[in-house]
Structure 1
Amino acid sequence: MPRTKSLALPLAVLLAGTASAAMARPAAVAAPAISVETLKEVTQTLSSDAFEGRAPTTPAEDKTVAYIADRFAKAGLKPGNKGGWYQNVPLAEITTKPDVTLNVTGGKAPLSFAYKQDMVVKTYQIQPRIDIANADIVFVGYGINAPERGWNDYAGIDVRGKVVIILVNDPDWQTQTLDGPFGGRAMTYYGRWTYKYEEAARQGAAAALIVHDTEPAAYGFNVVVSSNTGPQLELDAADGHMDQSKAIGWLTNDAARRLLAAAGQDLDTLSAAAKVKGFKAVPLGLKASMTLENAIRRQASKNVVGLLPGRTRPDEYIVYSAHWDHLGRCEPVSGDDICNGALDNASGIAGLVALADAYRTQGAPERSVLFVAVTAEESGLLGSQYYATNPVEPLAKTVAGLNMDGLNVLGRTHDVVVIGPGKSELEDNLKRAVLAQNRMIVPEPTPEKGSFYRSDHFSLAKVGVPTLYFDSGEDLLDGGKAAGRAAAEDYVKNRYHAPSDEYDPKWNWSGAVEDLQLYYRIGRELADGSAWPNWYPTAEFRATRDQSRGTK
């Protein structure tokens, strides 16, 4: 499941390099005009019912990518993938029939858990039928194996062929400071649901079920349902992802409590124990059975790639990106089954087009600039993952990039928030751009959401490309922090991944304009300069980048 978005602008800056931090201060970059009419027109068009929620590999995709390519061309870009607008992304669509049930025996009484009400399960494995029969169930706490932190929730237990129950987030997520074995309030990758499924598969588990809890997950169970039911996409693979667990999914908090109670256990007691280093997994003496019937369809989706060639160093690249996809036809609300994805992320694509227009009016920079509209973010960053592992231009030549995942439509803010600060030298670029706007950088208000790991910039980070990730903050010029926070919470509760994420003609685009000027300043500074910024030496991605650039 992708990260939640607030109405405040998530700015994920994907920037790469290997030069030292002691770089010459570049000349100031002027902020160009950003067309509000372009932002409105592109957002409203892509989020209209005519585009049916922009689900990849549906007929709506053809209409979507053709529209984006047309807007790129009108903005003066050239086809960016060796003369073509598109990069094919091979996907497998897996649709699990909704009659799946989870049955548990061995406790005080047999239990059955209903699909969408008590649980959601699906599979990464590309096969038409999944059977799990009478598999032992084990509670594995937070499901973390982190040898560098001396933490292993799987120590002393063999979960091969078993069903594991896992808590969401990190053990210290309730800490109000950034101190703790897993960064305190700030989520690490170990807290992400993606990691928990990956580790369960490495341990040989037949199935992995995460216990949902709204605060540490950062979204309600309605989001779990809307994001994990219906057609699900995975990158196609020759081995059919048979190295993954047979089934993965979520339990509601209430369902988990009932399951554990059947084994004579209490969720609160086990959760408290799991927070302590040295926790030992708890076999529950229960057995689980489930069958998934899956329809399989293979079809390539598309990333859309536009190019603005550089004048003097055309073989060095800045990358701007945003995802074009959303959920398509989803769980109906009041009869509306189209998840239009206006903010998430038709607005981000509008930002790409508006930035391309701005570059055209200011003239080509020294380095080339790629504008990449990626697919299948909502399915787990698949389009950006494919680009990162199959880049249209070498990663060693990728100097910088900026990723947009929802524009600020509340109005201007006083503040900017760095997500995952202290990771790369690129924070200097951000500081200069923010200072030029007379804004200030403030601490991340919700580090427990793990936002650094939840948008497309993370795909490049994993292959070594340095990333700087920041948001415009909640301190609105009109209404202050209380109004900004209330609007963000309202969006997550009432519109995120729901049919109600629709275009609103009353949106205030002044904040989006100011934030897009930040995008432009940072990108242009690097595109006209010669710097190759890098991760700080302590960052987890530094060694990978050094290797790709041939440096130490």
Structure 2
Amino acid sequence: MIRKKLFVTAFSLLMGASLSAQDLSVINQQEATRLLQTLSHDDMQGRATFTAGIEKAATFIETEFSAAGLLPLKGGSASQAPSFRQTFYVHRLTPSQTEVNLDNIEIAAEHLFVNTSQKQLDWNQKNKVDIITISKGKNFRAAFAKVNSQEQDAIVLVHPSHAEAFQDYRGYFAKGAVKKEIGTGSSKVYVLTDQANPKKYQVKFENKIDKLELSNVVGMIEGKRKNEFVVFSGHYDHIGFHKSVDGDSIANGADDDASGTTAMMMLARYYKQQVQPERTLIFAAFTAEEIGGHGSRYFSEQLNPDQIVAMFNIEMVGKPSRFGPNSAYLTGFEKSDLGLLMQKRLKGTTYSIHPDPYPKQNLFYRSDNATLARLGVPAHTISSVQIDQDKTYHTVKDEFELLDMPHFTSMIRAIALAAQGVVSGEDTPTRVDKALVK
């Protein structure tokens, strides 16, 4: 009897291993290449938000979701036809007037930038806004972050010694901003000047405001536990056109983040070909990550975060990690035990997952996982890029030809294996302590 039980157990394990190997073959380099090449092709024009290129990318992802047999995510208005598009609106604010006078001295335009969600500013000394100084010797980026977080309106006087950093920021803010809501929050006017404590000031500023449409592309496989969700995600937007190098001005975003979006789509196909999962699986291609994470923020508002068991966000997995072949790292490893559960599932395989080796890069907060993590979800980003050495990030050189496709294919297989326990309902990661997420 015991021998019979041992035989049955051994046979089951053998069949399970064979089935797993057969299933993983669905995740193959040929298909990974097709998807990744398409998303990072010049035809997509760098997939910048509000462009024809990102619209083309969204249509491609929709087609792939449909071919895989995914269902649109439930929710939305009953009058709306089911769609993989999760559409919402934001406001693009573009500066159209900026005038600043300090003690009767008109400030040159190249020495000004404004951060505000207001349509207009009309300040003088009667408004009693704060005057803040970023003096010589201070860390400009740290000081900027501190000032920007304050709730009070302010004129910020930046010492000329910070001219280079100031111009970097000015270039960013001169392009305008994208906001979900307008007319909220405090405003900051930054002035590059050696003036201190002006007695009189006058600020006139105006934004041109356009209401624009954005869309996540989201599909699902309904599980036996319909209201327990596991999210696999990647952002499909990039930065569009960039500084030309050798006649090339398209920032294709192959690693950032056509790789993550491709991995997510291949995992969707993989899971669709398995038996019905225990938990409902959601596959999300987020928009507008590069301009503030608007897509993931909207997505998080459509679901009850308490019903999201885990989020596997995938970003920049097209190049080998510092830990060697078949390895990746997990941002915010210590914030839940999801990483430990993944390591347990990968034990005995050729794949490995490690804690983020770049804590100073603040990667946990630089991708779409952060929005859900702030709501307590065990939401982490899987990555393999050596971010401290990568020279193609946000350049026109982030192209398909520079990616390691055998490594990339291995990464997708590794995620499929590592997530198995969460998908099957056997593993439930601990929640993120919201008080410890900034």
Answer whether TM exceeds 0.5 for this pair. yes
Q: Which residue of 1 aligns with 2:178?
A: 233
Residue 115 (structure 2) aligns with? 123
Q: Distance in 2 between matches of 1:519 and 1:289?
A: 56
Instruction: Say yes or no: does 1:517 pair with 2:409.
Output: no
Tell me if structure 1 keeps the 8 A contact 2:85–2:215.
yes
Partner in structure 1 of residue 6 of structure 2: none
Partner of 2:13: none
- The code of the aligned residue for 1:429 comes to L
Matched-pair contact (CA < 8 Å) for 2:39–2:254: yes
Q: Structure 1's 289 and 523: CA in aligned 2 closer, same or farther, altered over 3 A?
A: farther
**Structural mapping, 1:117-516, within 5 Å:** 121-127=113-119, 129-131=120-122, 160-163=129-132, 165=134, 167=139, 193=145, 197=148, 199-200=149-150, 202=151, 204-206=152-154, 228-230=173-175, 232-235=177-180, 237=181, 240-247=182-189, 259=193, 262=194, 284-286=196-198, 292-310=205-223, 312-330=224-242, 336-391=248-303, 394-410=304-320, 413=325, 415-438=327-350, 444-472=356-384, 489-491=389-391, 495-504=392-401, 506-516=402-412
Cα separation, partners in 2 of 1:436 and 1:241, compared to 1, 3 Å: farther
* Alpha-carbon distance in 2 for matches of 1:213, 1:326: 33
Q: Distance in 2 between matches of 1:441 and 1:359?
A: 21
| Offset at residue 369 of structure 1 (A) | 0.6
**Comparing both chains, which one has the higher relative contact order based on Cα–Cα distances under 8 Å and sequence gaps of 6 or more?**
1
- Equivalent-residue separation in structure 2 for 1:39 and 1:213 (angstroms): 48
Structure exhibiting the larger radius of gyration computed from Cα positions: 2
Residue type matched to 1:466 in 2?
P
Q: 1:455 to 1:53 in 2, by over 3 A?
A: same
CA-to-aligned-CA distance 1:90-111 (integer Å, 9 cap, x gap): 21112235x85777669xx987
Shift of 1:378: 0.9
Q: Deviations over 1:362-403 (max 9, x none)?
A: 333121111011111111111101111232xx3222112211
Instruction: Answer whether contact 2:313 2:380 (CA < 8 A) is retained.
Output: no
- What is the CA–CA distance in structure 2 between the aligned matches of 1:293 and 1:331, rounded to whole Å? 28
Q: What secondary structure does 1:455 align onto?
A: coil
> What do the CA deviations read for 1:62-106 (whole angstroms, capped 9, x no partner)?
322111110111122122244321112221112235x85777669
Residue identity over aligned pairs, in percent, reads 25
Query: What is the RMSD of the two structures over their aligned residues, measured on CA atoms?
Result: 4.0
Q: Describe how 1:93-112 pairs up with structure 2 within 5 A.
A: 93-97=92-96, 112=108
TM-score by length of 1: 0.63
Under a length normalisation based on structure 2, what TM-score does the superposition of the two structures give? 0.77
**1:218-269 deviation line (CA, Å, top 9, x unaligned):** xx9997577555353221x2xx24323255x7x9xxx6xxx4xx36xxxxxx
Task: Report how far residue 35 of structure 1 moved.
Answer: 2.5
Contact preservation (8 Å) 1:227, 1:497: no
Distance 1:291 1:360 in 2: 57
- Which segments of 5 or more consecutive residues in structure 2 lack a partner in the other structure? 1-15, 76-81
Structure 1, unaligned runs of 5 or more: 1-26, 137-158, 171-190, 215-219, 264-283, 475-484, 544-552
Report what 1:267 is aligned to: none
Which amino acid in 2 is paired with 1:308? I
SS at match of 2:398: coil
Asked if the contact 2:91/2:210 (under 8 Å) is kept, the reply is: yes
**What does residue 529 of structure 1 align with?**
425
Q: Which amino acid aligns with 2:61?
A: I
CA distance in 1, matches of 2:410, 2:244: 35
Q: How many residues align?
A: 405
User: Which secondary structure state, in structure 1, belongs to the residue aligned with residue 46 of structure 2?
Assistant: coil
- In the alignment, the residues of structure 1 paired with residue 156 and residue 245 of structure 2 have an alpha-carbon distance, to the nearest angstrom, of 29
CA deviation string 1:125-154 (max 9, x = no partner): 151x44556799xxxxxxxxxxxxxxxxxx
**SS, match of residue 53 in structure 1:** helix
Give the aligned residue type for 2:307.
K
Q: In 1, Cα distance between the equivalents of 2:407 and 2:158?
A: 37
Structure 1 SS opposite 2:30: helix
- State the match for 1:114 in structure 2: 110
2:44 to 51, 74, 91: 51
Letter in 1 for 2:179: E
